[in-house]
Amino acid sequence: MKLFKYSILLLFVAACNAPQAVYDYDQKVNFDQYSTYSIFPDFQSGLSQLDDSRLLESLKSGLKEKGFTDSENPGIYVNVYTEEFQQDNRSRVGVGIGGGGGNVGVGVSGGVPIGQMDTYLKLTFDFINVEKDVLIWQAVVESPFRFDADPQKRKESFDKIVAKALEGYPPKK
């Protein structure tokens, strides 16, 4: 029974740090027709050059696993842009004071945050039909991200984010 409780706790903790994704797509599109891609010509993710290259390496690897090939005459352009935000997931220590007498009691308390706010990256992956210049598929992935992590851990984070994004492609109708 103890093992079961610890397993549930471990799953809960792991789920909190896993990337979360939302998918959207054009329901009229036959996604089987797309097998070639190219990175959007005006690609500007909003990340540093080093993180850009890590993200693109992860993206190209993920697209190759999905059966796509990089092409001069692509069927789709792939674009990614990012947004950084802070989320308050800090623990708090409660401090309070109170008193009373008879049938009356008064108290005041507050929480003091411990630690730093968590940094998250929101990455939006767009697949754009080159011929018609329209968005056909989109994934929005939010994930915790440490900008102070070493390069290998950052690369692993981008691998997980890209895998989560491409998990929803092609969409299941």
Ordered by start, the domain boundaries in the chain are: 20-27+34-90+116-168
Q: Is 80:59 a contact under the CB 8 Å cutoff?
A: yes
Tell me, what's the pLDDT at 67?
Answer: 96
- The better pLDDT of the pair 126, 4 is held by 126
* pLDDT per position as a tens digit, 136-148: 999 999 999 888 8
Tell me, what's the pLDDT at 98?
Answer: 72
CATH topology of domain 20-27+34-90+116-168: Double Stranded RNA Binding Domain (3.30.160)
Q: Is 165:139 a contact under the CB 8 Å cutoff?
A: yes
- Please tell me the distance from the alpha carbon of residue 141 to that of residue 19, in angstroms, as a whole number: 6
- Please tell me the distance from the alpha carbon of residue 38 to that of residue 110, in angstroms, as a whole number: 53
Tell me, what's the pLDDT at 2?
Answer: 55
Quote the mean pLDDT of the chain.
85
* pLDDT per position as a tens digit, 62-85: 999 999 999 999 999 999 999 987
Tell me, what's the pLDDT at 16?
Answer: 53
Tell me, what's the pLDDT at 116?
Answer: 66
- Please tell me the distance from the alpha carbon of residue 130 to that of residue 37, in angstroms, as a whole number: 9
Specify which residues 105 forms β-bridges with. Answer: 100
